[in-house]
Amino acid sequence: MKLCITAQGDNLDAKVDPRFGRSEYFIFVDTETLEFEAIKNPNSDAMGGAGIQSGQLVVEKDPDVLITGNNIGPNAFQILKTTDIVIITGVSGSVKEAIEKYKKGELKPGDYQS
Amino acid sequence: MIISIASGKGGTGKTTIAVNLVLSISNDNSYDCQFLDCDVEEPNAAIFLKPNISQARPVSILEPRINFTKCTFCGKCAKACAFNAIAVLKNDIKIFMELCHGCGGCSIACPENAISEVSRDVGVIESGNVGKIEFIQGKLNIGEAITPPIIIREMKKRIKKSGTEESKIKHITIIDAPPGTSCPVVESVKNSDFTILVTEPTPFGLNDLILAVEVLKKLNIPMGVVINRGGKNDNIISDYCQNEKIPILMRIPMDKDIAVAYSKGIPMIQINPKYSDKFKELYYKIENQLQISGEI
């Protein structure tokens, strides 16, 4: 299972970034091997359209699940809903904790999928 | 000559100053006056000037349409878009029109010639006259967010150039700018010979005046300040202006009669003719300022 987690830093000890479009990093992690790739978000300081471009970036990486803090903005959601990425919001703490919680089945997707 | 009226803070009296200034100086037959209400999100000068509107022309921008039979989803259009309005997905393209500035960059960048441009109305420019003053106002369509500068740019194309040396008649264009310090304000005041900054003697007035002064300095436009609804706290503004060497051109006191007239859409010069002289004086001060500094 490939997760994408919005993060404030480039490693698994970083905190989950509550923002999606302007998240500092996107961490793509394999839940089995815990191998991960941290991508610095080039859109975090964008004048506008950050959600759109971040949405495109995440969709290109094709994760199964997206984990973030706050709700996803409407523009980013337009992009993400073109795929079957499961969106989980309202997550805080470290990236590592988020992965563990996800593996234990403690994180549930929001109403986005309906 | 182009004189724009701006302020950092909203509600300080830009329109009041602009309207009374144009009415006062247009009495003089040696001036040919134009009035542009560039606050296209909320144009209100017409309430006071009561113009005869004789013409309305739509303003449009070009926005992209994708020909999906030609598109290869290469993503070059999204990369070219400076406003992040395009997302290219595996087999779909999403264009967020509310972010599109109509620059046409995407269609130039497309190697497959798969992007055509279609026009979309974003507002209207209405024009007419107030006596012998030419009146022009822009109105943004409801729901538009980023297109005010496009309408303002179109409006400013109608500014009359100053008369030739021999001609006795002088063109004066008064621009009523929107509040704030963002793109529509910059577009409105750009290329002015002089900008009047209207402020009120409150901490909010001062804070936003400082922001507006910074913008005008960057644009290299000569400026002066009008203190509106003044009184015992005027020194909040005058101390700052003294330090910055910005002239205070006029002070309008807090006056119930002016406020009552305003609430009925009546310019102050029509309830108290002595204000007409004050506004003419304001104009002469600006002309003098510019002559001293050799701007005109």
Listed in sequence order, the residues at least 6 apart from B12 whose beta carbon sits closer than 8 Å to its beta carbon are B179, B198, B199, B200, B205, B228
Side chain identity, residue B293: S
Side-chain half-sphere exposure of A44, counting CA atoms within 13 A: 15
Task: Verify that B228 and B141 share a domain, yes or no.
Answer: yes
Is some CB atom of chain B closer than 8 A to the CB atom of A78? yes
Q: Cα(A80)–Cα(B281) distance, rounded to whole angstroms?
A: 61
Candidates A43, A53, A72, A83: best to mutate against B (most CBs of B within 10 A) is A53
In a domain, B151, yes or no: yes
User: Domain holding B200: CATH number?
Assistant: 3.40.50.300
Instruction: Report phi then psi at B93, rounded to 5.
Output: -130, 130
Q: What pLDDT, on a 0 to 100 scale, did the predictor assign at position B295? A: 60
Q: What pLDDT, on a 0 to 100 scale, did the predictor assign at position B177? A: 98
Listed in sequence order, the residues at least 6 apart from A12 whose beta carbon sits closer than 8 Å to its beta carbon are A27, A29, A34, A36, A94, A95, A96, A99
Q: What pLDDT, on a 0 to 100 scale, did the predictor assign at position A63? A: 96
The answer to whether the beta carbons of residues B84 and B26 sit under 8 Å apart is no
Q: Which of B291, B229, B264 is nearest to B47 (CA)?
A: B264
Q: What is the 3-state secondary structure (H, E, C) of B181-207?
A: CCHHHHHHHCCCCEEEEEECCCHHHHH
Q: Are strands A65-67 and A2-7 parallel, antiparallel or unpaired?
A: parallel
Q: Are strands B2-6 and B194-199 parallel, antiparallel or unpaired?
A: parallel
Domain boundaries, chain A: 2-113
Task: Verify that B95 and B141 share a domain, yes or no.
Answer: no
Question: Tens of pLDDT along A51-103?
Answer: 999 999 999 999 999 999 988 999 999 999 999 999 999 999 999 999 999 99
Say yes or no for a CB contact (<8 Å) between B96 and A49.
Answer: yes
Q: What pLDDT, on a 0 to 100 scale, did the predictor assign at position A113? A: 46
Q: Are strands B52-66 and B194-199 parallel, antiparallel or unpaired?
A: unpaired
Task: Verify that B92 and B189 share a domain, yes or no.
Answer: no
For chain B, the residue count is 296
The model's pTM is 0.80
Say yes or no for a CB contact (<8 Å) between B89 and A47.
Answer: no
Task: Verify that B108 and B247 share a domain, yes or no.
Answer: no
Q: What pLDDT, on a 0 to 100 scale, did the predictor assign at position A114? A: 37
Is domain A2-113 in CATH 3.90.79.10, yes or no? no
How close, in Å, is residue B157 to chain A by CA atoms?
28
Task: Verify that B92 and B214 share a domain, yes or no.
Answer: no
Say yes or no for a CB contact (<8 Å) between A56 and B92.
Answer: no
Q: Pick out chain B residues at pLDDT < 70.
A: 162-167, 294-296
Q: Cα(B29)–Cα(B271) distance, rounded to whole angstroms?
A: 22
User: Domain holding B94: CATH number?
Assistant: 3.30.70.20
In a domain, B188, yes or no: yes
Report helix, strand or coil for B129. Answer: strand
**What's the mean per-residue pLDDT of chain A?**
92
Say yes or no for a CB contact (<8 Å) between A52 and B84.
Answer: yes
Q: Which domain holds residue B83?
A: 68-113
